[in-house]
Chains A and B, each alone.
Chain A
Amino acid sequence: MKNVHIISVWVENKAGVLSKVSGLFASRGYNILSLSVGETEDPEVSRMTIVVEGDDKIIEQVKKQLNKLIDTIKVIDFTKKSCINKELCYVKLNMKTKEKSDIIMTSQIFGAKIVDIGKKTITIEIVDTDKRVNEFLKLVSDFGIIEIARSGIVAIAEDEK
């Protein structure tokens, strides 16, 4: 059975590491849905969040292969642990005057922000789970989407309560 997994990977913050990781997915034929990367509390370490789809056997291999990279420090699969995860998405819509208030209302319902209004377009920023982002995009697609930019998911473990 195919499942979607959110995997966090801590790697040495060095040139070339990102391409080693992404190259690994390409050369082993793993299905990567999103990848985001940034610095951590330790400037020598970067953290990647990789969303990958596959059956248990593939995911097991993905994790092992990631671990096998010499620059990998730690790999965590959030699927079995609870985590907080969000994605940032910008969507630029066609704006016809009569639809303006509909767009604003839909955005408000989703807690999305209007970040830019131009002559013909309106740009909305939404930060939410990818499921909610998808729902939002589906709703606003009626207004005519011109452009979408998504960051990919970032995730962090939820602490024990």
Chain B
Amino acid sequence: MLLNGAQIVIECLKKESVDTIFGYPGGSVITLFDALFSEKDIRVIVPRHEQGGGHEADGYARSTGKVGVVVATSGPGATNLVTAIATAYMDSIPLVAITGQVRTNLIGTDAFQEADITGITYPITKHNYLVKDVKKLARTIKEAFYIASHGRPGPVLIDIPSNVFNEKTEFEYPETIKLRSYNPTYQGNPKQIEKAVKMIKESKRPVILAGGGVIASGASDELREFVKRTGIPVTTTLMGLGAIRHDDPLYLGWPGMHGTVYANYTLMESDLIVCIGARFDDRVTGKTDEFAKKARIIHIDIDPSSIGKIIDTDLPVVGDAKNVLAELNKHFNEKLDLETWINQIDSWKKNYPLKYKDDNITIKPQYVVEVVNELTKGINTIFTTEVGQNQMWAAQFLKLERPRQFLTSGGLGTMGFGFPAGIGAQVANPDATVIVFAGDGSLQMNIQEMATVKNYNLPLKVIILNNSYLGMVRQWQELFYDKRYSGVCLSRDITCPKECKGKECKKYWPDFVKVAEAYGLKGYRITNKKDVERILREAIIENKEAAIIDVIISKEENVMPMVPAGHPINNIIERY
């Protein structure tokens, strides 16, 4: 059958079982939108900014494991996607971005709305394409989905000139695909696995460090089994949160800059780290030269370039976490004898628990998170976060139970991610209670997406941990820049004195409740600790619609514990 390029795109998406795309129209994708107009099997969610659309597709992907799809027009539409693509790239999220491009004969002429988006996105995509020939379109889309979702996942961009959407060709979709230049290794080398077993059995103070790769590969069950069989304590990175239940006795929380003291001590004192699908980010290792010097390292990863990049590895195992863990599990039928080590860790846990200083005057953000834990017990929830202190408090105090329950921008730390990602997660999981933990700064980076929430009638809940500050930066300024709060006060205006006395601050700026109402959403404000539980219950549990909940928290609360950047991770500040 002869189809035009736009129809081919849609048929390909259907072949890839895509049920939803996030797309914003414009001149160069108008033919594609025209074809979508009469399309029944694909739902189009129109964001209010392409960046929002990109993060929405990302949240869709993170919460389901499926490939997220976002569409934007050429030039500004495409460049608006850049932050969202980079965010997905850093966290290895499968995303296909389809951008319109100017007509083939105008490429390179600085035509209206021309931007070299393949050039711009080389370093932030797993791969990208410019498709000048409609005959190559179907195969390219097949490849793009394959590459985005196989091996270490990541975003793939397909740039399609507007005339290609109009040109016709015979539609044929390749059923399978083989790329001579891309063949990830899925099975761990048996010899390496044997060596790993030996190293693990020999170790006296082992610890597992599990990252986002475990979630990407769907290996949480295998990881839990591995922990159960071996009795080895386990820490998950921010990206690995949910791979292990929060209440597993061998779980140590997450390590690094704002991780638990006991996860950091355990890593630093260990004699063996079994790293699975994590990449030794500097927020985890602190000063790399001094990271876990007594430990041998087994590094299991599907991406060979992650291995040995930061930390020297004693035993590399290239493979898919799920397969490698399943193989490892076969070799462990009894727990290792780790009594002294576990006792040591338990005493760290007892002596240095995650904590905060609660009071009855202000609302502590950690308390808000704890109330949410109580309210959502037994409910199917998905949490997303913005970036900054709100993200850290949510990650520290939420009681997570399963993979893909906690979505956060780990690698890029993108303010403006959490709200649209929550929208994407809600679209993909209509029955789940999706809760966004937002900062007052971050939310304003994609606040226009309130319109998307309203238009698609999504019951999304947004809890703003409102400190009137770019809180995380303020915290650094408090601790390392002599409290010189430069550029971080969100209520500061030209009438403020140079030296802020913190007195006559503008209240509720912006007034998030009014903003919510302006978009037709329910807005709530909580200013008293005694109302937290009641209003959150009303907004999240009783109310079945969307809710924007502005919680005025203790302004200068800090995220603790903290390892200053570039310090070894056992060099921990604790000030409550």
Asked if B130 lies at the interface with its beta carbon under 8 angstroms from chain A, I say yes
Q: Given A19-B119, A57-B308: A70 and B180 within 8 A (CB)? A: no
The interface residues of chain A lying within 8 Å CB-to-CB of B126 are: 70
Of the candidates B119, B127, B181, B304, which one forms a contact with A64 in the assembled complex, judged by CB atoms under 8 Å apart?
Answer: B304
B305 pairs with A70, CB closer than 8 A:
no
| A71 adjacent to chain B (CB < 8 Å) | yes
| A101 lies within 8 A of chain B by Cβ | no
Over the window 1-24 of chain A, the binary record of Cβ atoms lying under 8 Å from chain B Cβ atoms (1 yes, 0 no) is 000000000011001100110011
Docked-complex contact A12 and B130, CB < 8 angstroms: no
Tell me the smallest distance from the CB of A13 to a CB of chain B, in Å: 11
Task: Give complex CA distance A71, B126 in Å.
Answer: 11
Which residue of A has the minimal Cβ distance to B307?
Answer: A64
Candidates B118, B179, B308; contact of A70 at CB < 8 Å: B179
Look across to chain B and name the residue whose beta carbon is closest to the beta carbon of A12. B181
CA distance A73 to B122 in the complex (A): 18
Taking the closest CB of chain A, its distance from the CB of B142, in whole angstroms, is 14
**Least distance between B129 CB and chain A CB atoms (Å):** 9
Judge whether B303 is part of the interface by a CB distance below 8 angstroms: yes
Chain B residues closer than 8 Å to A20, beta-carbon distance = 122
Assess the A64–B122 pair: CB atoms within 8 A: no
A64 to chain B: closest residue by CB? B305
The range of chain B's interface size is 10 to 19
Rounded to whole Å, the gap between the CB of A4 and the closest CB of chain B is: 21
Q: Is A61 within 8 A of B180, CB to CB?
A: no
Number of CB contacts from chain A to chain B under 8 A: 40
Q: In whole angstroms, what is the CA distance A73 to B118 when docked?
A: 21
Is A67 part of the contact surface with B, judged by Cβ < 8 Å?
yes
Residues of B within 8 A of A23 (CB): 122-123
Complex: how many Å from CA A72 to CA B305?
Answer: 14
B182 within 8 A of A: yes
Q: Tell me whether A68 and B308 are in contact (CB under 8 A).
A: no
Q: Are A70 and B123 in contact (CB under 8 A)?
A: no
Given A57-B308, A60-B308: A68 and B130 interface contact (C-beta under 8 Å): no
Residue A79 is within 8 A (CB to CB) of chain B in the complex: no
Interface centre among B119, B179, B180, B305 (most CB of A within 10 A): B305
CB within 8 Å of A: which B113-131 residues: 118-119, 122-123, 126-127, 130
Interface pairs A-B: 7 shortest CB-CB: A64-B305, A70-B127, A27-B123, A73-B181, A23-B122, A68-B305, A70-B182
30 chain-A/chain-B pairs, Cβ below 8 angstroms = A11-B181, A12-B181, A15-B130, A16-B118, A16-B119, A16-B130, A19-B119, A19-B122, A20-B122, A23-B122, A23-B123, A27-B123, A57-B308, A61-B305, A61-B308, A61-B309, A64-B305, A64-B309, A67-B304, A67-B305, A68-B303, A68-B304, A68-B305, A70-B127, A70-B147, A70-B179, A70-B182, A71-B127, A71-B181, A73-B181
- Please report A residues at the B interface, Cβ cutoff 8 Å: 11-12, 15-16, 19-20, 23-24, 27, 57, 60-61, 64-65, 67-68, 70-73
